[in-house]
Amino acid sequence: MFIDRVKIRVKGGHGGNGVTAFRREKFVPRGGPSGGEGGKGGDVWLVADTGVNTLLHLRYNPEHSADRGRHGEGSNRSGREGEDVLVRVPVGTQVYDAETGDLMCDLAEEGQRWLAAKGGRGGFGNSHFATSTNRAPRYHQEGDPGEEHEFQLELKLLADVGLVGFPNAGKSTFISTVSAARPKIADYPFTTLEPHLGVVDLGDFRTFVIADIPGLIEGAHEGAGLGDRFLRHVERTKLLLHLVDVSSASGRDAVGDYEAINRELHAYDPQLAERPQIVVATKLDALDEPERVENLRRRATEDGREFYEVSSVTNTGVRELVYAISQALDAMRERDAATKAEATREHADTAPGGSVAAGTLTAGTTRE
């Protein structure tokens, strides 16, 4: 079961109490205070882990409490600190405050950690309060409680390419053809009820990741159909693959479908609608009206978008499309690297020391 939204409660460990104690040693007439400090409570951390791909494990285990610190002891012995709790979440998880809705953290990289609830401080023992005028204090300090929070976790899949289109546009068949993903495929709408990730192997240890989300319909940005529940999964993609069914059996207007999906993307997030997009006419094996493809090609060209024709069933045009996707992604990576290098040079030029400082930096690094 794919779960991409869940609410959790986290609680840091309570700090241990200090203790009131006095030394009792042979031949020492005035032992003095010896109460140790309480240990710090454990923290709760959220950790991004590629070994987890859904929030399902948190739906059935929403409460996470760290261990409390142990109390101090005599002879100035401090209590043991409480054990931290690590909550594993999928890479791409966003953390929101459940009350205010504020974004607290975006765990977008493997191994990234975020402190969700801090443990309480341990209390001081009576030895901490000893002074020259108060040599035998008979009081200690209790530990502080740990932080308590409630968070809304939302998963946004990390993929290079996002598939969009109406239900039964051929998205699941395409991703099953080019990758090892095996989503459900059937001849009725909304066959896909949850996102699927597929890894496309280009050879020479080169790959890219495709995200297949449930089909969109008009009004999706307002929640119609499966709506915006899954649209957020293509927000992080670098490239959109817009699949349009041009088969005569569908009885749909291909150009109308293309325009409707783009309207929904724009209504959901204007920046998403401006994302690089390749338009793909699908189900060529069931086409008997060539003008349907030509009309869609003309419309995509008007928008300045690349256009391809494929049949995932017969593998027609699939190889050419995969190559075009890899070329587009490579070009994006090169532009990103050039932009980052240019930003680094500009930052180095404005740093104290001018060009001398710039000479000590390499591309991809920044000066703190």
pLDDT in tens, 128-151: 999 989 988 999 999 999 999 999
pLDDT for position 186 = 46
**pTM over 0.85, yes/no:** no
pLDDT in tens, 193-224: 567 778 888 887 788 888 887 767 565 545 55
Secondary structure class of 353 (helix, strand, coil): coil
Structural contact between residues 339 and 332, judged by C-beta atoms closer than 8 angstroms: no
Q: What percent of the chain has pLDDT over 70?
A: 86
- The helix or strand, by DSSP H or E, that contains position 203, with its residue range, turns out to be strand 196-203
Q: Transcribe 26-45 into DSSP letters.
A: TT-S---B-PPPPPPPPPEE
pLDDT in tens, 251-277: 788 899 899 888 888 888 888 888 899
d(CA 354, CA 367) in angstroms, rounded, equals 13
Average pLDDT score over residue span 276-303:
89
Domains and CATH numbers, the chain: 1-155 (2.70.210.12), 161-329 (3.40.50.300)
User: Could you tell me which residues come within 8 angstroms of residue 300 by beta carbon, excluding any fewer than 6 positions away?
Assistant: 258, 279, 306, 307
d(CA 98, CA 109) in angstroms, rounded, equals 23
pLDDT for position 30 = 74
Average pLDDT, the chain: 83
